Amino acid sequence: MVQDKTAVPVPERPAAGDPADGSAAGPVSGPAGGLVDRPVAGGADGPPGAEDPSGAETPPPASRLALPARVAGAVAGGLLMFLAFPPLGLWFLAPPGMTLAVLAVRGTRPRRGAWLGFLAGAALLLPGLHWVSPIGADAWLGLVAMESVFYAAWGAGVALVTRLPLWPLWSAALWVAAEWARGWFPFGGFPWARVAFSQGESVFTPYAALGGAPLVSFAVALCGGLLALAAVRSFPALRSIAASRPIASSGPPASSGPPASPGPRPARGARRGRALALPLALPLAGALAVPAAALAVPRYGDEGRSVTVGVIQGNVPGRGMHPLGDEPAVVLGNHTRMLHQMARDVREGRTPRPDLVVLPENSTDIDPLSNEFARNEIDAAVKDVGVPVLVGAVVRIGENNRATRSIVWDPVTGPGAYYDKQQLVPFGEFTPLKGLVLALFERASLVGRQSVAGTRDGDLRLGPVTVGAINCYEVAFDGIVGDTARTGATPLVVQTNNATYALTNLPPQQLAMSQLRAVEHNRAVITSAITGISAYVTPSGSIAWRTGELVPAMNVLTVPVRTARTVATRVGALPEWALILVGAGAVAAAWRRRRPRVGHSVNREDDQQVGDA
């Protein structure tokens, strides 16, 4: 029956033994003799997390402490997620950080959920992207503010989908969608500080072999969401247990009626305990099962083949925004000198002979294709070591452009095949909105010639193997690394220049990305960094060798050659797109459910129909 909202309902006389206003909370008999919680009078004004017999949860009461608690939860959640990232690497803090962020947003309107999500994102990114600060505090804070908008969208979506059953699934899928959007917009995207990149070597890492970084992020977010569900269900459980305890009274009884029989209370309490324990145990079991299931992901074994790789880290003379120094050819000399040293060590038996050598990005500060001096210096060093060398250089393209290039330099034929960096750094290698940006920021002119993006994958024949060349910033992008791995290239080689950001949290964060990529594609990953951290990551994601920062270093490593493709390599972005569609579908379903229906008050608060799994 549809009730007229303007009609004043006539209260019914309470039945014998019921409270006068029918509002007392407590267990009542349900179907088949079971127990359900009686809804608290006032609906939204009841205790937080109370449930009615239909399974819909009643949101927490509006109080002066509610908003500060949500703000604190959002900020604490973001900070815990930051602590999961290198250099601290407390990866196990990522799920509880996600728990706090979800709890802060759950039960709010989308508008409030948006700015709470923004706070959580800012708390994660403000310290997480502090490595940008050498460019300028304005660049750092502006980037954090822009990227936090994506977490605001996540918060608004979670405020909606947590009204549906199985909401930990939907909130985790929305987290993947937010990270996907960050990786595409604006100016080509900026996927740094994805939750997956905090799990370089953790219990969640094996999921990378199934669905790449998106599936790892989803697993962490799902685990956090299940912990949030357990927390939500624990509040009514604790309240009910407290309510079932007898309260001692020193005064006379309020009435002269016969005393209540204490006989059935133990059995009734046991039933209540069992009824409350199961809903709490299920999400806790799920939160434990998510990382445990990663143990079942297939592992790939050794294929009995290896290659010997020389790695050189030449260092630079400058710091900050001018890392290459003011004197030309110093960086070039640092790296050619170390090539000659490696050749001497091989001749004198102090180190094994490499099959190939990898130099870092910008290993020459002079274009060797247009400058005869630089070309001769590199050629002499490569002839001395006697094996192909992958040289990182910035080369001129016409009068106004350049390319960040990985060049195969053969000891006999000289420079040959090359790979041009595809994913360029906005405001570092090219200037979006160039006219406006140059007018507002003088230091934007330091970009100089605008880089041109490459158009082919990084598979390059280098001695006995075809390596997969990945250039610095590109290691954060799923598509670039995945496309290179799908060519069959092995091992993967990351040439990088982090000189401007030396001794910040960028180099260890980037190394964690290489760890995840190794597991994702069943490939050894060699990182050659101009100032560190250079490293060798095994196909299982373990760091077998690494250098310090701001020091010259070199080594000759024997690394496995793997050719087997993981599921993640084969399916590419399909798991990510599936999760995005799941999240979008949940938002659509929650939005339809949010619309007022006939028979319900249109004045009901947005956050009063929070579904539970």
Active site residues: 361, 421, 472
Closest CA to 153 of 125, 129, 121, 127: 121
Q: What residues are paired with 307 via a beta bridge? A: 559
- Do residues 224 and 232 lie in contact, with contact meaning Cβ atoms separated by under 8 Å? no
Strands (E), 387-464: 389-397, 401-410, 414-420, 450-451, 459-462
Contact 262, 136 (CB under 8 A): no
Q: 283 in helix, strand or coil?
A: helix
Cβ neighbour number for residue 488 with a 10 Å cutoff = 12
8 A C-beta contact, residue 128 and residue 505 = yes
Count the neighbouring beta carbons within 10 Å of the beta carbon of residue 436: 11
Task: Write the single-letter amino acid at 468.
Answer: G
Which residues, 6 or more positions from 19, have their beta carbon under 8 angstroms from its beta carbon?
none
Cis peptide before 279 (omega within 30 of 0): no
Is-cis flag, bond preceding 135, omega within 30? Answer: no
433 close to 450: Cβ distance less than 8 angstroms: no
Specify the long-range contacts of residues 52-57, CB closer than 8 Å, at least 24 apart.
Answer: 55/165, 55/611, 55/612, 56/609, 56/610, 56/611, 56/612, 57/232, 57/610, 57/611, 57/612
CB-neighbour burial class of residue 450 (10 A; exposed 0-12, middle 13-18, buried 19+): middle
Kindly state the tokens that stand for 131: 């490595």
DSSP readout, 117-171?
HHHHHHHHHHHHTGGGGGG-HHHHHHHHHHHHHHHHHHHHHHHHHTTSTTHHHHH
Helix ranges (H only) for 202-299 are 208-244, 265-293
- Name residue, tokens 């509040």: 235
- What the block records as the tokens of 79 is 């900070």
Between β-strands 401-410 and 389-397, what pairing exists: parallel, antiparallel or unpaired?
antiparallel
